[in-house]
Amino acid sequence: MKNKLMVMSGWALLMVTLSLFSVTVSKEVNSATDNAAANATVITAISIGRISNLEFGTAPQGATSKVVNPGTSENPENASFQVSGHSNTTYDIILPTSVIMVTGDGVGANKQIVANNFASYPSGRGTLDGSGNQLLLAGATRAALLLDQVVGSYTASFTVEVIYN
C-alpha cells in the first residue's frame, strides 16, 4: 500500500509538473513582444522678412486701375520678401484678399483706395533652396481713382504668411 501511494504521489506530481509546463509553453507560444523607437526631428522655424514695399507710384485723380505684377525678380514696384527655414522644404504662401489704403483720417471713399487681387511669385507654394532661402515677390491691383480722390499719400499694411507643408 505504501508503494502504491508513492507511485500515485509520483504520478500526481508528474501530472502537476506537466500541466504547469503545458501552461507555460502554451503562454509563450501564443504571445510575443517587441520594441519600437519614438523619433522626432526638429527643423529650423520658417521666417519671412520684408525687403521692399508694394509701390503703386504716383497717379492723378480719376486714373484707371493699376496692376503691379509680382514678376520673377525684384523691381521698383513689387513687394519682396526673404523666406528662410529648413533647406529644400516646401511652404504655402497666404496672401490677403484686399487692403484699403487711406490718407488722413481715412473717412470717406475719396480718402480710401482699395488694393486687391494679390498675387505672388512663386504662386501659392514655394520651395526653399539648399541654403534654406527663397525670394518671394508680391503684387496686387490698385483700384481706379475717383475724380475727387483726396490728394496725398495713401498707405496700408498687409501680411504675407508662409507655412511649412
Binned at pLDDT 50, 70 and 90, residue 41 comes out as very high
Q: What is the value of pTM for the model shown? A: 0.78
| CATH code of domain 47-164 | 2.60.40
pLDDT at 160 over 60: yes
Across all residues in the chain, what is the average pLDDT? 89
Binned at pLDDT 50, 70 and 90, residue 28 comes out as low
Measure the CA–CA gap between 160 and 165, rounded to whole angstroms: 16
pLDDT at 99 over 90: yes
Round to the nearest angstrom and report the end-to-end CA distance of the chain: 85
Q: Among all chains, which residue has been given the C-alpha cell 509701390? A: 55
